[in-house]
Amino acid sequence: MLMGIRFCSFWVVVLLLLFGSNSIAAEKPRSLSQGWEYRWGDSPISVEGVPAWVVGQESASDWHSIDFPSNPPDRSGQQHIWYRIVLPELDTYLDPVLYIDSIDLIAQVYLEDQRLYQFGEFDNQGRGKFAGWPWHMIKLPKDSGGKILYFRIYSDYIDIGLWGQVSIFERADLLLDVLNNSLESLLSSITAFLIAFLAFTLAILKGQRRRFFTVGLFSLASAGMLLGESPARQLLFDAPLFWVYLAAGSYYFLPVAMGMLLAPAFQGRSRLWMRRIWQLHLLYLVIALGISVLGWINLSITFPVFDGLFAITLFITFVLIVKNIWHIPAVDKCIFIAYAVLALLLLEDMAVAHGFLDWRQVPVSYGILLFSATVVLISLLYFSHLQVKLRMLNESLEMKVKERTEALEKLSYEDSLTGLKNRRFFDEFFSFHASTAIRTGLPLTLAMCDLDYFKQFNDTYGHPAGDTALKLFADLLRKNFRETDLVCRLGGEEFVILMPNTGRLEAKEKIQALLNQARQQEIYHEGQSCGCVSVSAGLACWPEQTDDPDRLVMLADKAMYAAKEAGRDQVG
Ligand SMILES: Nc1nc2c(ncn2[C@@H]2O[C@H](COP(=O)(O)OP(=O)(O)OP(=O)(O)O)[C@@H](O)[C@H]2O)c(=O)[nH]1
């Protein structure tokens, strides 16, 4: 376990970082890069618990030199190994500590016959369970220069030994270094948390729910992974297994969320493939974490299996993207570019973790932030486009409804054959004109017109020709009367003209003129002359003929029938 670093040390280091200089002590970190030796197997342990190999009870030829204390040749299934090194002089250090990035998997560290440090629990056979992958800070006595430091290691994992950096530091410098190295991942983690929060809020408030929700999950997983892998995690909370479970859960979830985000951009079989990929990863996540928690396997072994699976699915995703690149909408291409950057960084990180590339810090956090930010921005873009489209659709719908309403209103007041106002309009507006006449005292005359022998005309020339005659008479009416006059077709071959502010004499002249024109207007239908149709009319005038304007219709009707009786083609 980490040597008693307590929560408060985190804040001490933060203060040092903020106000202190870059280096607390004079002595610089020194990498232990030379003089390593290894020996397969485990040492016999005395009843007092002292391994025989640390008290010189071994032959020097059993030890072999190695560049770095990790994965020596000829492992052939062995799970125990010892490493050793002669420590350099440490007198110049104020508070020397040995820093190790990580150990595969559990270890005891001896300075000659004195046990300095233990990580994980060893049983009687020298075996133990995976205990996480924290970094290690081992306090070294100042007088340990020239003494031999031994590492007793057990691992049933693919790697066995130390991993990453192994250096001697001044304690304060190391803590500063840890925080310095963590700043990037901590800030990225906080940013990813904020993006997750934003995405979840948008998922609740706006459209594109599924997309924002998936981005939220992805960002949350990214934040968890970055925090779980950030070196400063141990200063916050010293529980290596918890952190490694957090990192594993988040890391294994990344391809699930990525697949869920990418799948909708594909069509047909490619989309099905993407779906299968994320479902497979989800299944892996559940099984791997489930059986590790149950203690059936060590969580450590699920990492390389996941990496293998992820490398394959990343490759398949690449192929699918390349295959579909021309069919993918431009905005989705941006997501793919961000995805490609992240995928390459993840692959590089995997290659470093498995020793295919030299040890280095891979900026995975930048890739993650780039990907989350791109997806959020594009989702917002989509969303605002959608809003604009919806608004436009809404506006055009409103326009259409308005047009339809107007058309319907027009239709309901308009005679479809002649385009004149209809009986309904007349009925509604007659009372308005009647009351206006009473109020103003100005005369109001009503003329009723009826085409003569129209049945005969229809019978002779046909109904369509009759329609033409009706339309031509309507044109005459439009030409002969004022805008303020109300001209309507009451039905059939019957028309009415209401003339406000017009006395009987003046009205009679106008109607007579109309009748004259009608009589002389030759009707052509389909290029054939159908002769002319005369019109009979009846007039009624308020207040000359009646003191009740409501009687005008009846009186005019009577007068019109009188005109018919009197021989038609005249005003009655
Ligand atoms: N073509 C056409 N004919 C119509 C329309 N509406 C009514 N009619 C016809 O108008 C004719 C009216 O005939 P009647 O009421 O007997 O009157 P008429 O033949 O004009 O005789 P008088 O009014 O006495 O001169 C009928 O034949 C109706 O079918 C229409 O919209 N189009």
Q: Which is the catalytic residue, given 493, 506, 522, 544?
A: 493
470 lines ligand 1 (CB under 6 A): yes
467 lines ligand 1 (CB under 6 A): yes
Distance from chain centroid for Cα 484 = 61
Q: Which atom of ligand 1 is nearest to the CA of 467?
A: 1
Ligand 1, atom 28, lies closest to the CA of: 455
Ligand 1, atom 1, lies closest to the CA of: 466
Look at residue 31 in the predicted model and tell me its pLDDT: 92
Q: Please identify which residue in the block is written with the tokens 């590089």.
A: 348
534 lines ligand 1 (CB under 6 A): no
Q: For the chain, report the end-to-end CA distance as a whole number of angstroms.
A: 120
Quickly state the pLDDT bin for 404 (edges 50, 70, 90). Answer: confident
Q: Ligand 1 test: best mutation among 448, 458, 473, 490, most atoms within 8 Å of CB?
A: 458
Q: Which atom of ligand 1 is nearest to the CA of 456?
A: 19
Ligand 1, atom 29, lies closest to the CA of: 455
Distance from chain centroid for Cα 73 = 50
Identify which has the larger pLDDT, 3 or 410: 410
Q: Please identify which residue in the block is written with the tokens 């905005």.
A: 331
Rounded Cα distance between 481 and 496, Å, is: 12
Q: Please identify which residue in the block is written with the tokens 């303020």.
A: 484
Ligand 1, atom 32, lies closest to the CA of: 467
Q: Ligand 1 test: best mutation among 493, 532, 535, most atoms within 8 Å of CB?
A: 493
Reduced to 3 states, what is the DSSP secondary structure of residue 268?
helix
What's 115's DSSP letter?
E
Ligand 1, atom 6, lies closest to the CA of: 492
ipTM of the complex: 0.96
pLDDT at 11 over 60: no
Weakest-pLDDT range from 20-34, 304-318, 455-469 = 20-34
453 lines ligand 1 (CB under 6 A): yes
Weakest-pLDDT range from 364-373, 451-460, 492-501, 546-555 = 364-373
pLDDT single digits (tens) 423-433:
989 998 899 89
Look at residue 110 in the predicted model and tell me its pLDDT: 96
197 lines ligand 1 (CB under 6 A): no
Mean pLDDT throughout 366-370? 83
Rounded Cα distance between 182 and 10, Å, is: 12
Look at residue 315 in the predicted model and tell me its pLDDT: 87
Q: Ligand 1 test: best mutation among 448, 453, 454, 534, most atoms within 8 Å of CB?
A: 454
Phi, psi (deg, nearest 5) at residue 448:
-110, 130
307 lines ligand 1 (CB under 6 A): no
117 CA from centroid of ligand 1 (Å):
117
Ligand 1, atom 15, lies closest to the CA of: 455
Q: Which atom of ligand 1 is nearest to the CA of 451?
A: 20
Rounded Cα distance between 447 and 480, Å, is: 13
492 lines ligand 1 (CB under 6 A): yes
Pairing relationship of beta strands 494-500 and 444-451 according to DSSP bridges: antiparallel
Residue 448 β-bridge partners: 496, 538
- Residue 271: which H helix or E strand, with range? helix 268-293
Is 493 a catalytic site residue?
yes
Tokens for 271, please give them: 């989309």
pLDDT at 258 over 80: yes
Q: How many C-beta atoms surround the C-beta of residue 548 within 10 A?
A: 12
pLDDT single digits (tens) 280-325:
999 999 999 999 999 899 898 999 999 999 999 988 988 888 888 8
- Residue 102: which H helix or E strand, with range? strand 96-104
Distance from chain centroid for Cα 527 = 67
Burial degree of 379 (CB within 10 A; 0-12, 13-18, 19+): buried
Q: Which atom of ligand 1 is nearest to the CA of 536?
A: 25
What is the chain's alpha carbon radius of gyration, rounded to the nearest angstrom? 48
Q: Please identify which residue in the block is written with the tokens 């009706």.
A: 470
Please calculate the CA angle 36-42-45 and round it to the nearest 5 degrees: 115
The CA-based diameter of the chain, rounded to the nearest angstrom, is 149
Rounded Cα distance between 549 and 67, Å, is: 120
540 CA from centroid of ligand 1 (Å):
23
Mean pLDDT throughout 477-499? 94
348 lines ligand 1 (CB under 6 A): no
What's 476's DSSP letter?
H
Look at residue 359 in the predicted model and tell me its pLDDT: 75
What's 541's DSSP letter?
E
492 CA from centroid of ligand 1 (Å):
6
Amino acid at 222: S
Look at residue 555 in the predicted model and tell me its pLDDT: 96
pLDDT single digits (tens) 199-234:
888 888 766 678 788 888 988 998 998 898 888 999
436 lines ligand 1 (CB under 6 A): no
Tokens for 288, please give them: 């791997």
Mean pLDDT throughout 44-50? 87
Q: Which atom of ligand 1 is nearest to the CA of 469?
A: 1
Region class of 531: left (phi > 0), else alpha (psi between -120 and 50), else beta: left
Mean pLDDT throughout 396-401? 87
pLDDT at 397 over 90: no
Q: Between 171-205 and 7-19, two packed helices, what is the crossing angle to 10 degrees? A: 100
415 lines ligand 1 (CB under 6 A): no
466 lines ligand 1 (CB under 6 A): yes
Q: How many C-beta atoms surround the C-beta of residue 559 within 10 A?
A: 21
Quickly state the pLDDT bin for 531 (edges 50, 70, 90). Answer: very high
Look at residue 5 in the predicted model and tell me its pLDDT: 36
Quickly state the pLDDT bin for 398 (edges 50, 70, 90). Answer: confident
CB contact burial 36-52 (16+ within 10 A = b; e otherwise): bbbbbebbebeeeebbe
Rounded Cα distance between 94 and 91, Å, is: 8
Could you tell me the domains of the chain?
A: 7-13+29-175 (2.60.120.260), 181-388 (1.20.1070), 423-565 (3.30.70.270)
pLDDT at 371 over 60: yes
Mean pLDDT throughout 400-419? 83
Look at residue 267 in the predicted model and tell me its pLDDT: 85
Q: Ligand 1 test: best mutation among 451, 452, 455, most atoms within 8 Å of CB?
A: 455
Look at residue 505 in the predicted model and tell me its pLDDT: 95
451 lines ligand 1 (CB under 6 A): yes
462 CA from centroid of ligand 1 (Å):
12
pLDDT single digits (tens) 149-185:
999 999 999 999 999 899 999 999 999 989 988 888 8
Q: How many C-beta atoms surround the C-beta of residue 319 within 10 A?
A: 12
Ligand 1, atom 4, lies closest to the CA of: 492
Region class of 304: left (phi > 0), else alpha (psi between -120 and 50), else beta: alpha
Rounded Cα distance between 117 and 41, Å, is: 20
Mean pLDDT throughout 118-147? 93
